[in-house]
Structure 1
Amino acid sequence: MKIDLTDTTSGKINKALVKGRRAIGTPAVGMVLTLVIVTDEENAYDALKAANDASREHPSRTLVVIKRVSRSPRDKAKARLDAEVRVGADAGTGETVVLRLYGEVADHANSVVLPLLLPDAPVVVWWPVHAPADPASDPLGALAQRRVTDTYACEQPIAELTARADAYTPGDTDLAWTRITPWRSMLAAALDQAPWKVTSVEVEGEEHNPSCELLAMWLADRLKVPVQRSVSTGPGLTSVRMDTKQGPIELGRSDGSVATLSIEGQPDRAVALKRRDTAELIAEELRRLDPDDIYASALRYGVDRLDIGSGELPGPAPAQAAAEGAAPRKKAAAKPPARKAASK
């Protein structure tokens, strides 16, 4: 069921939601959160479709905020709010309100959204494209416990990672990080099977792909070893190789669907590692609303220690490694023999 409202208010939208629920015979509200999607007209359809698919797992009230840019001064002076209320089969398993803001109303989107939030329910804000530099300080982002961006949709995705690290606030996350969850799970499981000391890592994937960079940051942060970043034709991530004294551990995926796990002394195994669509990524993010400390640690580790995209992430400095209880790198031990040879 769809209800169109022109030049309306938040109060009238709430009344339309109640009217729509009664019309389809479901007055009870069983939604678990409010998902606010901030996008433009061009990307609204795809974002809303992904949210509706994710609502099968997380029934929610979805508010789509579309700020209409007026080109003529006459249109800019006229403030207006149009809404499209969807309930029933047209809104997945929850409710959907598409808000189109014109004129000065577009500068006060938080005032429009606030009365439409579900009471006593978490709020998640998602920017499919054009996320603010600091999501937590954005008026809409300030309403949320969880703020989701997507650096892959940016014009300069690698540079955007630096901005995400500088402005990070607990509750921030990125779909580029969500995309590598299966890779991180598979690599952790491989090291459980072969608990060997990793000496170096190579991550191979598309150029300017933030997911590849984030995986390299995570490996450098967790393993405290140098990580080499190499470029392939894709799609996405194609290979991760971890070198050990006992032999290499490699996870390779050339077709974007099935990967091969190779461990020294064991037969190769085919594992399902398909590239997931946006609906699956959003559904995963909605499963947990607490701060993602692992994402924050990996993001800050990489940004603090290298020029992202330059090709290599160094391991920790010797002094830092000693402070963390790890053995210093062997380069420091190689200097005394060189001085003896010079004295001779």
Structure 2
Amino acid sequence: MKIDLTETTSSKINAALVQARRDIGTPAIGMVLTLVIVTDEENAYDALKSANDASHEHPSRIIVVIKRASRSPRSRRDARLDAEVRVGADAGTGETVVLRLHGELVNHAQSVVLPLLLPDAPVVVWWPDGAPPNLAGDPLGALGQRRISDTYASENPQQALGERAAAYAPGDTDLSWTRITPWRSMLAAALDQQSLKVASVVVEGEDENPSCELLAMWLADRLQVPVRRTASDGPGLTSVRLETKDGDIVLDRADGSLATLCMPGQPDRAVALKRRDTAELLAEELRRLDPDNTFEAALKFGVSKLTAPAPAAAEAEVAPTDSPETVTGPKADAAPAKPAAKPSKKASAK
């Protein structure tokens, strides 16, 4: 069932939701959370489709906030709220409210969303694209216990990672981090099977891919070894090499779906490591509502290394390869500068 409301208010939207539930014969609310999606018209369809798919695992009230840019000064002064209410088969396993904010109301979206939140239920705010630098400081972000962004959709992913680290607050997360969950699980399991000391790591993947950077920072933070980041044609992450004195542990995925795990003294094995769609990533993030301390540690570990130019010592270390690289880890720190030579007595006399 769909109900269109033009020039409406939050109270009328709530009344429409109650009436729609009665009309379809489900007056009780069986949803576990409120998911607020902040997006634009271009990305609203894909974001709502992913949220509806994720609602089969997490029944929720989905509130889509679309801020409509006004073209003329007069229309920018006029505030108007249009809404579309969906329940039943048109809204997954929960209910959906699509809000279109016009004029001055764009700057007060939180006042429209607040009355529509489910009582005594957690709130998750998701920006599929165009996330603010400070998620918790955003008026809509302040409503949520969890705030989800996606730096992969940013024009400059590395800069976006730096902004996320600088303004991190408990509850922040990113889908670029969620994308590497299978990689982290596979690598952790491989190290549990081998009593080998890792000396260095090489992470290979698409250039400007924030998932590759996050995986490199996580490995450098957890293993406390030098981690070198190399570029490939993708798709996404393609290879991780853990270098040890007894042989390398290699997890290689060239086609984006099936990977090969190579370990010293063991036969190579094929493992499923397919690239997941947005609905699967969102469903994973909705499973936990507590702060992700591991993400925080990885995010804050290498921000300065991602933004600062590579030191000369690190450049010399990776010079044999032709592809652009970013180096993280303890070895990437520049060596202390040698003290300047003291001037000779003759020079002082001059």
Match of 2:327 in 1: 312
* Structure 1 residue 264 displacement after superposition: 1.0
Match of 1:206 in 2: 206
Residues 13-52 of structure 1: matches in 2 within 5 Å?
13-52=13-52
Q: Which one-letter code corresponds to 1:161 in the other structure?
A: L
Residues 70-149 of structure 1: matches in 2 within 5 Å?
70-149=70-149
Q: Secondary structure at the match of 2:259?
A: strand
Contact 2:127–2:149 (8 Å) recurs in 1: yes
- For residues 37 and 102 of structure 1, what CA distance do their matches in structure 2 show? 17
| 2:272 counterpart of 1:272 | yes
- For residues 239 and 82 of structure 2, what CA distance do their matches in structure 1 show? 48
- What do the CA deviations read for 1:246-301 (whole angstroms, capped 9, x no partner)? 11000000000000000011000000000000000000000001000000001111
Match of 1:161 in 2: 161
Match of 1:151 in 2: 151
- What do the CA deviations read for 1:143-176 (whole angstroms, capped 9, x no partner)? 1000000000011111111011000001000000
* Structure 1 residue 195 displacement after superposition: 2.5
- What do the CA deviations read for 1:90-137 (whole angstroms, capped 9, x no partner)? 000000000000011111000000000000000000000100110101
* Structure 1 residue 311 displacement after superposition: 1.4
- For residues 158 and 138 of structure 1, what CA distance do their matches in structure 2 show? 21
Q: Secondary structure at the match of 1:136?
A: coil
* Structure 1 residue 315 displacement after superposition: 2.1
- What do the CA deviations read for 1:7-29 (whole angstroms, capped 9, x no partner)? 00000000000011011111111
* Structure 1 residue 74 displacement after superposition: 2.1
- What do the CA deviations read for 1:233-254 (whole angstroms, capped 9, x no partner)? 0000000000111110000000
Q: Which one-letter code corresponds to 1:314 in the other structure?
A: G
Contact 1:306–1:314 (8 Å) recurs in 2: no
Q: Secondary structure at the match of 1:170?
A: coil
Residues 143-292 of structure 1: matches in 2 within 5 Å?
143-292=143-292
Match of 2:347 in 1: none
Contact 2:162–2:307 (8 Å) recurs in 1: no
Match of 1:299 in 2: 299
Q: For this pair of structures, how many residues does the alignment match?
A: 320
- For residues 290 and 305 of structure 1, what CA distance do their matches in structure 2 show? 28
- For residues 141 and 243 of structure 1, what CA distance do their matches in structure 2 show? 41
Contact 2:231–2:325 (8 Å) recurs in 1: no
- For residues 317 and 204 of structure 1, what CA distance do their matches in structure 2 show? 17
- What do the CA deviations read for 1:199-219 (whole angstroms, capped 9, x no partner)? 000000000000000000000
- For residues 208 and 3 of structure 1, what CA distance do their matches in structure 2 show? 43
Q: Which one-letter code corresponds to 1:251 in the other structure?
A: L
Match of 1:342 in 2: none
- For residues 278 and 239 of structure 1, what CA distance do their matches in structure 2 show? 22
- For residues 241 and 325 of structure 2, what CA distance do their matches in structure 1 show? 19
* Structure 1 residue 77 displacement after superposition: 1.9
- For residues 136 and 11 of structure 1, what CA distance do their matches in structure 2 show? 26
* Normalised TM-score (structure 2): 0.89
* Structure 1 residue 70 displacement after superposition: 0.4
- For residues 76 and 304 of structure 1, what CA distance do their matches in structure 2 show? 40
Contact 1:202–1:240 (8 Å) recurs in 2: yes
Contact 1:125–1:147 (8 Å) recurs in 2: yes
Unaligned runs of 5+ in 1: 319-330, 333-344
Q: Secondary structure at the match of 2:177?
A: helix
- For residues 62 and 314 of structure 1, what CA distance do their matches in structure 2 show? 41
- For residues 81 and 151 of structure 1, what CA distance do their matches in structure 2 show? 29
Contact 2:226–2:330 (8 Å) recurs in 1: yes
* Structure 1 residue 76 displacement after superposition: 1.1
Q: Secondary structure at the match of 1:198?
A: coil
Unaligned runs of 5+ in 2: 309-323, 337-350
Match of 2:346 in 1: none
What stretches of structure 1 move > 4 A for 4+ residues in a row?
Answer: none
- For residues 273 and 265 of structure 1, what CA distance do their matches in structure 2 show? 23
- For residues 199 and 101 of structure 1, what CA distance do their matches in structure 2 show? 54
